[in-house]
Amino acid sequence: MGFSNSLQYIARDTVTIAKVEAGDFSIKVEGYGSLQSLNKRLLTATSYSLVDDIKLKAGAIVKADTVLMTLKNPALEADLRQALAKLQNSKTSKRQVMLGQQREMLDNESNLSKLEAEAEIALLQVDAERALAKSGIVAGINAKRNELKANQLVKQVKLEKIKLKKIADVHNESLSIQDDLIAQAREEFDVAKLMVEQLSVKAGMEGVIQRSSLDLGQSVSPGTELALIGSLSPLVAEIKVPQLQAHMVAAGMKAEIYTVNGQILGHVVRVDPVVSEGAVQVDIQLDEGKYEGVKPMQLVDVTILAQVQKGVHYIRTPTGVNEDSTAWLFKLSEDDIASRIEVTFGKASGQLIQVLSGLKAGDKIITSKLDLEDGTTQIKLGS
């Protein structure tokens, strides 16, 4: 570096030069985050118990009926045995009630048959004595007495039939009560059985164990997290983008997701309205397809294709220049003399930035940081 004829000389190999281009300009929003399962299932303990056996740990691929671990709770097993005994006792009680009802019905039906037979005989006797009474062979009072007795027997038969029907109704109601008791006992048994079955912790869905941090012998209480299961597909990338660029992102925009296994395409499905620590969360769902080696919880970098503008001037972003700003830069002429000019910039996209004014396509500027004397307006590039 030096001075000659009021020009400040700088070696060409110490600066970076970029040329203004013209064409389609894609405004890209960069972000980072991780892949997450779109469908998740949190497994929690349903009772106080101890971790008795751990069969699988985080990262294992599971199916819906895969057993992850078994818990132990002797009290629940005792409750199940008691519930089973109660259910069996209720069924036995119903059979005993039914046997008692059958005996009662047989006795009453026997009495009814006996009364019907007596009434039939009495009626036959009345018919026979009626003619004899007219002839004076049988005393009229005796015939009348026998007729009264026959009528009483007929009434008793009717009453006995009514009684038998009411007894049947009572028996049906009694059996209905027994059925209710059995249903109640069965419900208690089903609940106790379910509580014991839940000691064998199953995944409940096909996917991968994303989180499980229990130890053998550890005590758990109702609500304690046992494991988190996430689907292997579909996946969504949960990323953070700078707050200043978040307004350019909208649902439906295409995105490029970069993983250790290569690039995957996706699209924006949600933009969080809340700003947290200067960033906004954006959810990007992966497009349908099979992706080898891609799993939930993987870290990813993402480029969102926010906008595409045609006929735009752009250049590699000079050092220290921000989007939507104005800066003084040095523009090169054909004689390797660079003059200080004012340039207005627009939106940045990756390493590129829009040129709104001050430059045209083909112009070259120095984009690296220069160590110049105050007031320097021209520099000369030398070998």
What own/partner pairs with CB < 8 Å and gap ≥ 24 does 248-251 have? 248/27, 248/29, 248/306, 248/307, 248/347, 249/29, 249/280, 249/282, 249/304, 249/306, 250/306
State the virtual CA torsion across 282, 288, 289, 292 in degrees, nearest 10: 30
**What residue spans define the domains of the chain?**
2-37+234-382, 40-68+202-230, 75-197
pLDDT in tens, 100-134: 989 988 888 888 888 888 777 767 766 666 655 55
Query: pLDDT: is 19 or 307 the higher one?
Result: 19
* Rounded mean pLDDT, 232-254: 88
The candidate with the shortest Cα–Cα distance to 233, out of 38, 28, 1, 9, is: 38
**Six-digit token string for 117:** 């037979």
Note the pLDDT of residue 161. 87
Question: Which class in CATH covers the domain with range 40-68+202-230?
Answer: mainly beta
Q: Please tell me the predicted confidence (pLDDT) of residue 5.
A: 46
Q: Which amino acid is at 74?
A: P
Region 43-72 average pLDDT:
93
Sign of CA dihedral 290, 294, 300, 301: negative
Give the tokens for residue 23.
């064409």
Give CA–CA dist 286/235, Å, rounded.
6
Cα distance between residue 348 and residue 27, in whole Å: 7
| Beta strands across the sheet bearing 219-220 | 200-202, 67-72, 49-54, 219-220
Q: How far is CA 318 from CA 48, 62, 344, 376, in A?
A: 63, 51, 12, 18
pLDDT at res. 343: 94
The single residue listed with the structure tokens 């009264």 is 148
Beta carbons of 69 and 51 less than 8 angstroms apart: yes
If you average pLDDT over every residue of the chain, what do you get? 87
The arithmetic mean of pLDDT across residues 318-326, rounded, is 90
Q: How long, in residues, is the chain?
A: 383
| Structure confidence at residue 156 (pLDDT) | 85
What is the per-residue pLDDT across 289-305, written as a single tens digit (0 to 9) for each?
767 778 888 899 999 98
CATH top-level class of 2-37+234-382: mainly beta
Bridge partners (DSSP) listed for residue 40: 230
DSSP classification of residue 163: H
Whether the Cβ atoms of residue 28 and residue 306 lie closer than 8 Å to each other: yes
SS3 content of the chain, % helix, strand, coil (to 5): 35, 40, 25
Q: Is the model's pLDDT at 143 over the cut of 90? A: no
Cβ neighbours of 339 (radius 10 Å): 12
Q: Which residue has the higher pLDDT, 1 or 189?
A: 189
pLDDT band at 160 (very low <50, low <70, confident <90, very high): confident
For helices 74-135 and 140-197, the axis angle rounded to 10 degrees is 170
- pLDDT at residue 229 is higher than 50: yes
Please give the Cα distance from 271 to 251 (Å, whole number): 7
At residue 308, the 3 state secondary structure works out as: strand
What is the tens place of the pLDDT at every residue in 327-357? 999 999 888 888 999 999 988 887 889 999 9
Amino acid identity at 363: D
In sequence order, which residues have a C-beta less than 8 Å from that of residue 52 and are 6 or more positions away? 69, 70, 71, 72, 216
Confidence check: pLDDT of 195 > 50: yes
Q: Please list, residue by residue across 161-185, b when 16 or more beta carbons sit within 10 angstroms of its beta carbon and e when fewer do.
A: eeeeeeeeeebeeeeeebeebbeeb
The strand pair at 40-44 and 254-259 is best described as: unpaired
For residues 209-229, average pLDDT: 92
Confidence band for 138, pLDDT divided at 50, 70 and 90: low
